[in-house]
Structure 1
Amino acid sequence: MKYPLVTAALLACATPLGAHPHIFVDTGFEVILDAEGRLTHLRITWAYDEFYSLLVTEDRGLDPDYDSVLTEAEVASLNGFDMRWVEGFNGDTVLLNGGEEIALSSPQEVATTFSEGRIITSHLRAVEGDAPDANGLVIKPYDPTYYTAYEVTQKVTVQGDDACRARVKMPEMNADLRELQQDLSALDANTDPNDVGLPEIGEALANEVVITCDAS
């Protein structure tokens, strides 16, 4: 994920050893289908971990009494803080149809809440081009570098077609992947994994949301 530079710098200074991943995001999806069972939109929810949420609010001078309660104006000032994407950034969300990636729009209908010390944001993304049949589609939320770890723990719902449902598939963890994960966790916050010869493993560790639809 791409973050404002001030917050990223603050994170690098404050994150302890064992710093990969740096940010943890509980993720959810609303899969929106049309009357023909074609996927037209994804609504994506990101619930940031308490530590990163604290860094963001501190960086912006919010919640000075540290009571994990923000005013409506303070919450409003956070809206869109994580939507400042550089050109070409895919929003750490990949939609696949038979292994082929389907392009998604830039974020729309951005919303932000703050609950129990955590920033929670949502945004809508439209399928660009022809809407694909939902059956067999796969949604993968991940940061290739594993700087940010996404886990699908929030609600995943399908709207628009009762014949379709979603299930979450966890990654297959083999010995090599576990060893790489341990090597990454041992890096300090200022070390780039590529500089020490470690590969990008975000995709291999990604949860998958698989859409299946009953035949009519």
Structure 2
Amino acid sequence: MLLTAPLRAHPHIFVDAEITIVFDDDGQPEGVEIAWVYDEFFSMLLVSDMGLDPDFTGTVTEEEQELLHGFDMNWIEDYHGDTHVTQGGEPLALTGPVEWSSDYYDGQLRSRHLRHFLDLPDPEQEWIIAVYDPTYYTSYTLVGQPQIEGRSDCVARVFEPDWEAATETLEAAIDELLGAGMDIEADFPAVGALFSDEVRLTCAAP
């Protein structure tokens, strides 16, 4: 589908995401481990801004990797990490990132972090994990099958977004902004969830 120029203005950053759902020794949900792999263009810009890989080799030395550590983990107050967990339509809170790691090779920045549940989901009822930027400045694509650690009786199913419906909704919102004479970039609609994959989880009853 051919998009208008304002729609092409978003997203700006493209990230492949992998998730692992972690259960504790009692079989209760403990947290979600999230891995991000950034697109090559954004990776090159950020690495260059940090003064790393000056020869553009697509990798970093051990010394440079130390400087890279936690490059995307210094979250501002209103940033919630783009990982969203819900159950029964209600959001479940997560901690900030812990146990993070960072790397850069094959021309792409990579990071991994763990977030613990503050609100525990009921594992016997369906719960949903989605990775998205509400503003759609960053586009996340879920790659690979979500992994489950600590239990063998849980199923994670991936559901793709309805791209046509999401695009139609975005186009209508853009038209409304244009009609009101508003700044498309500054007032871009919060449509990230519409373009997001969903991971739906269920576990067997004890």
Give the TM-score of the pair, scaled to structure 1: 0.80
Matches within 5 A, 1:159-170: 159-170=149-160
Match of 2:123 in 1: 134
Match of 1:9 in 2: none
Match of 1:118 in 2: 108
Match of 2:148 in 1: 158
Letter in 1 for 2:109: I
| Pairwise CA RMSD | 2.3
Name which of 73, 79, 88 aligns with 1:83.
73
Match of 1:143 in 2: 133
Name which of 56, 70, 91 aligns with 1:66.
56
Go from structure 1 to structure 2 and tell me whether the alpha carbon gap of 1:100 and 1:183 turns closer, same or farther (over 3 Å shift). Answer: closer
Query: 2: distance between equivalents of 1:113 and 1:214?
Result: 37
1:154 Cα deviation from its structure 2 partner: 4.4
Match of 1:26 in 2: 16
1:61 Cα deviation from its structure 2 partner: 1.0
Query: 2: distance between equivalents of 1:53 and 1:77?
Result: 15
Letter in 2 for 1:174: E
Question: How many equivalent residue pairs?
Answer: 191
Name which of 23, 27, 30 aligns with 1:37.
27
**Structure 2, unaligned stretches of length 5 or more?**
1-6, 175-182
Q: Are 1:49 and 2:49 counterparts?
A: no
Give the TM-score of the pair, scaled to structure 2: 0.83
Instruction: Spell out, residue by residue over 1:165-191, the C-alpha distance to the aligned partner (whole angstroms, 9 max, x if none).
Output: 21211112335624736997xxxxxx6
Instruction: Spell out, residue by residue over 1:117-156, the C-alpha distance to the aligned partner (whole angstroms, 9 max, x if none).
Output: 1111001111114x32224110011111100001101452
Query: 2: distance between equivalents of 1:137 and 1:176?
Result: 22
Identity %: 40
1:203 Cα deviation from its structure 2 partner: 1.0
- Secondary structure of 1:47's partner? strand
Between 1 and 2, higher relative CO (CA 8 Å, sep ≥ 6) is seen in 1
Q: Could you list the runs of 4 or more consecutive aligned residues of structure 1 that deviate by over 6 angstroms after TM superposition?
A: 181-184
Query: 2: distance between equivalents of 1:143 and 1:116?
Result: 25
**Structure 1, unaligned stretches of length 5 or more?**
1-16, 185-190
Go from structure 1 to structure 2 and tell me whether the alpha carbon gap of 1:157 and 1:77 turns closer, same or farther (over 3 Å shift). Answer: same
- Secondary structure of 2:113's partner? strand
Query: 2: distance between equivalents of 1:173 and 1:67?
Result: 36
Contact 1:92/1:141 (8 A) holds in 2: yes
Go from structure 1 to structure 2 and tell me whether the alpha carbon gap of 1:175 and 1:34 turns closer, same or farther (over 3 Å shift). Answer: closer
1:106 Cα deviation from its structure 2 partner: 0.9
Query: 1: distance between equivalents of 2:145 and 2:51?
Result: 31
Matches within 5 A, 1:171-190: 171-175=161-165, 177-178=167-168, 180=170
- Secondary structure of 1:53's partner? helix
